[in-house]
Amino acid sequence: MQIASQQFRERASEALLDPNIRTAFDGLKTGFAAARARSVAALPEFPAMREAARNIRTHTLENLDLYLERYEEAVRAQGGHVHWAEDAEDACRIVRDICRKAGAKIVTKGKSMVSEEIGLNAVLEADGCEVLETDAGEYIVQLAKETPSHIVVPTVHKTVQEISELFYERHRAYGFEERVTEAADLIAQVRAIMREKYFTADVSLTGANFLIAETGSNIIVTNEGNGDLASMLAPVHIVTAGIEKVVPSLNDASALLRMLGRSALGMETTAYTTFMTGPKRAHDLDGPEEYHVVLIDNGRTKMLDGPFREMLRCIRCGACMNHCPVYLSVGGHAYGWVYPGPMGSVLTPMIAGLEEAGDLPNACTLNGRCQQVCPVDIPLPDLLRRLRHERWEAGFVKQTVRWSLGLWAWLATKPRLYRSLTRLGMAVLHKLGGKRGRFRRLPLAGGWTGSRDFPAPQGQTFLDAWSKGAKQP
Amino acid sequence: MSADARTQILTRIRTALRQNGAVPMPPAALDRRMTAPPTAPLPAMEDDRVSRFIAKADANGIAVDHIASLQMLVPALARLLSETGLKADISVAPALADLDWPKDWQINFAAGRREEHLSVTFAAAGIAETGSLVFRSGAGSPATLNFLPDIHVIVLRTGDIAAYPEEVWDRFRAEGQGWPRAMNVIASPSRTADVGGIVVRPAHGPKAVHLFLLGSD
C-alpha cells in the first residue's frame, strides 16, 4: 500500500469538510466506545485483568527470542512450516514463492493487517493471482479500490447506498442483475460469491490475532466465519504474522482475548475464535494439506531495541482510535497508511520511517484517552511526544514552524517583554471586539472562526489576574 | 535466505533485549511456565456453570434444548426438520454415525459440502463464561461441518461444560491426545455489521445454531 501520511494536513482538512465522514466516525462514539464503557463497567475485575494482560505482553516481549523458538518448534512438530522475513519485500517474496509452488490462481484471504502493511495483495496480483478478501468489510473496500478506514471495521466510511451502487456495478459479473439496497441482501451476495471461491481457491491467507508457543497454533477471531472457511477449504494455508504476536500458552491467549473483544467491540467474545495448528492430520476429513507461517520483522526488532518497545504490546483492538478526538474528526483515510489513529501515528513512523510519516505524531491533543482505554496500557501520548521530539531533532519540521517556535521560545523566556506584549495585545483585541465582545473573523485564526466566534479578551491577562489573586489572603 | 533471516532476527532480538535491561526468565522457570501455565484473574461467576452457560448461549442467539440420551437426538432432529421445512438431506459428524438413523434420510457422514442445509456435530466442551462451544477437528468431527451449514445442530454433554476456557485447556492437556488441527470456539451464529453498521445474520457461516444438551450435570 502506497503511503500518503505526508499529506495528512491536506487530507485531514478535506475530511473535515465531508459531512459523511463526520457522521460515520461520530457513530463510533455512540457505538463501540459506549459499548466498551458498558462492558468494562459491568466487570469489577477489569482493572486486574488489564494489568495481567499488560504483564503477559511485557513478559513475552522480554523473552521474545525464546518464545519464538518454542513456537517454531511446536509448529514444525505438527507438520507446519515456519518462514522468517526481515522486511515487507522478503515476506511478499516468501508468500509469492509458496503460491507459485502451489500453482495458485485463486487466493482467498481472511483479514490480516500485516498483509496490508507489507502490500501483499499487489505482489500476488502482479504475479497473476486473483486475490479475494473474504471479510465482508475488507471485500467491499477491495472492490471499491479503497483502503480500510478502521482496523476492526474497515467500512466505517461507506454508506449502504454506496455499497449498493458498487455491488450493482460489479456483481453483474457473478449473475446478480438486480439492484439491491438492503444490508441483508447485499451480504447475501457476498456470501454466495465467497462460497464458490472458498471451494475453488488454491491458497488461503490469514493473519493471526495471536501465536501460541505452547501449541504452535495461530488464533483468528471473526464474527463472520470467513477466515475459518477460507483456511479449511483451500489446499494450502499461509499465515502472515508480526513476530510480536506470540504468547506463551493457551491460558495467556485466553486472558488477552478477554481484553480484545471488550476493548474492540464491547463484547465478551466474538462469534468465532479458532486455534489452527499445522496441516490436515492423517485421519482428518478436511483441512489444508500444507500449513505455512511467515514471521515478519519489518521494523519490529528496531522497536524492541529502545523506548518504543511498549508499542509492541499492541493487540490491534482499535480502542485508541474509537476514543481519539482527532481520528473521530478526520477519519481513518487522512492518516494515509494501514494503521490509523493513535496506534497508527506511532506505528507508521516506526515501520515506514519518520520522514514518510510526516505530521502524524502531531495529530494528537495529548488528552490521554487512548492510553486509558488501551487494554495493555501502552503510553501512546508519551510515545507520540517522543516522536515529535525525534522529528524536530531529525530536521523534519518545516522552517516556518521552527522559526515561529524559536520566536515564541525567545519571547517566553523574557518575562517582562512577554507580559507587556500580551497586555498590549489584549488591550488592542478588547478595543477591536467592541460591544459585541467577539470576532466573526480574525486574521491567522480562520481555523477557529470557521465554525465559531472568537471571544475578545476581557479584563486582565492571566498572569496579572494570578498575581493579584495571590496577594489576596 | 530465510534461514539467514531467522538468525538475523533472533540475534537482533537478543541484542535489543540485552541492551535495554530486559530480564530474561531462567530456562527452568520458563519451562515451568510452559508446562503449568498460570491463570490470569477471571471474571467472577455467581451462578452455577450450567445455568450460566445456558443463559449466555441463549443471549448469544443459540437455541438450547435438552435431551435425556443420544437416542432422543434423531426424533428431536426429525421435529426440527419438519418445523423448518427442510428435507432430510443432512450432514452428520462421523462421531455420531452409530445412532439409529432413519433409512430414508440422505446422510453425508463426511466433510461439509458446498451447499449444506443442516449439519449435526458433537462439541468437545462448553464454556459457561461466554456460552461458547469448543470443537476439536478429527476423523469423527470435520471442522467444515461447523461452518458450512445454514443450520448448525450441536450435541454437548452437560457434564462437559466448564466454567472458563482455562479449564478446557487443562482438560485437553490432561487427556494427552495432542492438539488437533483446529479447535473452533463458537459463541453464536455468523454475523457481520460491515454494511452501514447494520447487524446481518448470517455472514459466511450458519444463520442458526441449535444446541441439544445431553443428560444432566
Q: Report the residue from B17, B43, B114 with minimal CB separation from A45.
A: B43
User: Are the Cβ atoms of B39 and A286 closer than 8 angstroms?
Assistant: no
- Shared domain for A55 and A97, answered yes or no, is yes
**Cell matching residue B77:** 432432529
- Shared domain for A153 and A21, answered yes or no, is no
Residues A209/A245, Cβ–Cβ less than 8 Å:
yes
In angstroms, the CA A456 to CA A434 distance is 8
In angstroms, the CA A332 to CA A312 distance is 21
Contacts of A56 in chain B (CB under 8 A): 40
Residue that terminates a domain, selected from A367, A397, A427:
A397
Residues 215-254 of A with CB under 8 A from B: 215-217, 223-226, 228-229, 232-233, 243, 248-252, 254
- Give one DSSP letter per residue of A275-315, joined into a string: EE-SS--TT-SSS-SEEEEEEE-TTHHHHHSSTTGGGGG--
Residue that terminates a domain, selected from A237, A268, A301:
A301
Query: Is the model's pLDDT at B2 over the cut of 70?
Result: no
pLDDT digits (tens, 9 = 90+) for B162-214: 999 999 999 999 999 999 999 999 999 999 999 999 999 999 999 999 999 99
Stronger pLDDT, A398 or B156, i.e. the higher one: B156
- Shared domain for A214 and A67, answered yes or no, is yes
- Shared domain for A333 and A417, answered yes or no, is no
Residues 410-449 of A with CB under 8 A from B: none
- Shared domain for A24 and A85, answered yes or no, is no
- Shared domain for A156 and A267, answered yes or no, is yes
Contacts of A213 in chain B (CB under 8 A): 34
Chain A interface mutation, best of B8, B9, B11, B18, highest count of A Cβ atoms under 10 Å: B9
Q: CA dihedral defined by A92, A93, A96, A97, rounded to 10 degrees?
A: -150
Contacts of B108 in chain A (CB under 8 A): none
pLDDT digits (tens, 9 = 90+) for A252-287: 999 999 999 999 999 999 999 999 999 999 999 999
- Shared domain for A242 and A196, answered yes or no, is yes
**Does residue A306 fall inside a structural domain?**
no
Ramachandran class of B199: left when φ > 0, alpha when ψ lies in -120 to 50, beta otherwise: beta
- Shared domain for A330 and A424, answered yes or no, is no
Chain B interface mutation, best of A25, A275, A295, highest count of B Cβ atoms under 10 Å: A275
- Percent of the residues in chain B that have a pLDDT greater than 90, as a whole number: 93
Establish if A183 touches chain B: CB-CB under 8 angstroms: yes
pLDDT of residue A19: 87
Domain assignment of residue A349, given as a range? 1-42+319-397
Domain ranges of chain B: 1-38, 47-214
Residue A415 CB neighbours (<10 A): 10
- C-alpha count within 13 angstroms, C-beta hemisphere, residue A232: 31
Establish if A163 touches chain B: CB-CB under 8 angstroms: yes
Question: CB-based burial of residue A352 (10 Å sphere; 0-12 exposed, 13-18 middle, 19+ buried)?
Answer: buried
Which class is domain B47-214? alpha beta
CATH number, domain containing residue A63: 3.40.50.10420
- Shared domain for A375 and A420, answered yes or no, is no
Contacts of B44 in chain A (CB under 8 A): 44-45
**Cell matching residue A387:** 516522536
- Shared domain for A1 and A83, answered yes or no, is no
pLDDT digits (tens, 9 = 90+) for A222-242: 999 999 999 999 999 999 999
Tens of pLDDT along chain A (473 residues) come to 789 999 999 999 999 998 888 888 988 888 899 999 999 999 999 999 999 999 999 999 999 999 999 999 999 999 999 999 999 999 999 999 999 999 999 999 999 999 999 999 999 999 999 999 999 999 999 999 999 999 999 999 999 999 999 999 999 999 999 999 999 999 999 999 999 999 999 999 999 999 999 999 999 999 999 999 999 999 999 999 999 999 999 999 999 999 999 999 999 999 999 999 999 999 999 999 999 999 999 999 999 999 999 999 999 999 999 999 999 999 999 999 999 999 999 999 999 999 999 999 999 999 999 999 999 999 999 999 999 999 999 999 889 989 999 999 999 999 999 999 989 988 898 888 888 888 888 888 887 887 788 888 888 888 888 888 766 55
Residue with cell 482527532: A326
Q: Report the residue from B142, B196, B206 with minimal CB separation from A160.
A: B196
Global ipTM: 0.97
Residue that terminates a domain, selected from A379, A397, A415:
A397
- Shared domain for A14 and A38, answered yes or no, is yes
In angstroms, the CA A384 to CA A366 distance is 9
Question: CB-based burial of residue B113 (10 Å sphere; 0-12 exposed, 13-18 middle, 19+ buried)?
Answer: middle
Q: Which residue of B has its CA nearest to A81?
A: B2
- Shared domain for A383 and A416, answered yes or no, is no
User: Are the Cβ atoms of B13 and A65 closer than 8 angstroms?
Assistant: yes
| Residue B149 distance to chain A (closest CA, Å) | 11
**Does residue A307 fall inside a structural domain?**
no
Contacts of A216 in chain B (CB under 8 A): 179
pLDDT of residue B171: 98
**Does residue A246 fall inside a structural domain?**
yes
**Does residue A422 fall inside a structural domain?**
yes
Q: Report the residue from B132, B139, B205 with minimal CB separation from A284.
A: B139
Q: How many domains does one find in chain A?
A: 3
Residues A273/B185, Cβ–Cβ less than 8 Å:
yes
**Does residue A280 fall inside a structural domain?**
yes
Work out the angle between the directed axes of helices A136-143 and A183-200 (0-180°, nearest 10).
90
**Please, where are the H alpha helices in A369-398?**
369-373, 380-393
**Does residue A436 fall inside a structural domain?**
yes
Q: Is A226 helix (H, G, I), strand (E, B) or coil?
A: helix
Residues A329/A321, Cβ–Cβ less than 8 Å:
no
**Cell matching residue B72:** 432422543
Residues A49/B41, Cβ–Cβ less than 8 Å:
yes
Residues A180/A170, Cβ–Cβ less than 8 Å:
no
Establish if A154 touches chain B: CB-CB under 8 angstroms: yes
**Does residue A308 fall inside a structural domain?**
no
**Does residue A29 fall inside a structural domain?**
yes
Residues A349/A357, Cβ–Cβ less than 8 Å:
yes
